[in-house]
Structure 1
Amino acid sequence: MQKKLILSDPAVMMGKPVIAGTRITVELILDKLAAGETIEQILDAHPRLTRDAIQAALSFAADSLRDEVVYPIQEVA
């Protein structure tokens, strides 16, 4: 069910994964959460979003990172 909430269409937001029926990208949701916004604040700011949609965005991001790609992280001194 959650996978149907995330779509990627080259004609919408240059193909970035979005919440179905919106132009709200998975990236935007992740950025807002990383900046410290709560789910409630995101839902208030974007009335077309649902908790299920936010959960689908998180699930999509986690699935995307399961690929066999290594992401080296360097510490900043």
Structure 2
Amino acid sequence: MLAKANQSRIPAEVVSDSSVMGGKPVVRGTRVPAETVMAYLRAGRSSQDIFESYPSLPVDGVAAVVAWAEQHHGANWRQATSMSDGSDPC
């Protein structure tokens, strides 16, 4: 059930702003780093798990991160074993 996800009318996208999370790519309107969502997905976590951990994430936020990851890291981005800084948020 995705009822806890933010029901924003503006399509989600991944953006970078030096005043938010030190310029790390985040889902627009949140402080949720794209790398964190990617790590959850790599670990086999569901969208529901992500929404429960990050209720500010819009419903289409996970899909936006997947599209961004494929564009910036290639189709095999899920095969990486950790975040770029070596941490694991899961």
Normalising by structure 2, report the TM-score: 0.64
Percent identical among aligned pairs is 32
> Which amino acid letter does the alignment assign opposite residue 29 of structure 2?
G
Equivalences, count: 65
CA contact (8 A) 1:39 1:51 kept: no
Give the CA RMSD over aligned residues: 1.7
- Equivalent residue for 1:75? none
Larger radius of gyration: 1
Flag the structure with higher helix content: 1
Is the aligned partner of 1:45 residue 2:53?
Answer: yes
Q: 1:60 Cα shift?
A: 0.4
Higher relative contact order (CA 8 A, sep 6+): 2
Structural mapping, 1:1-77, within 5 Å: 5-66=13-74
Unpaired stretches in structure 1, ≥5 consecutive residues: 67-77
Normalising by structure 1, report the TM-score: 0.73
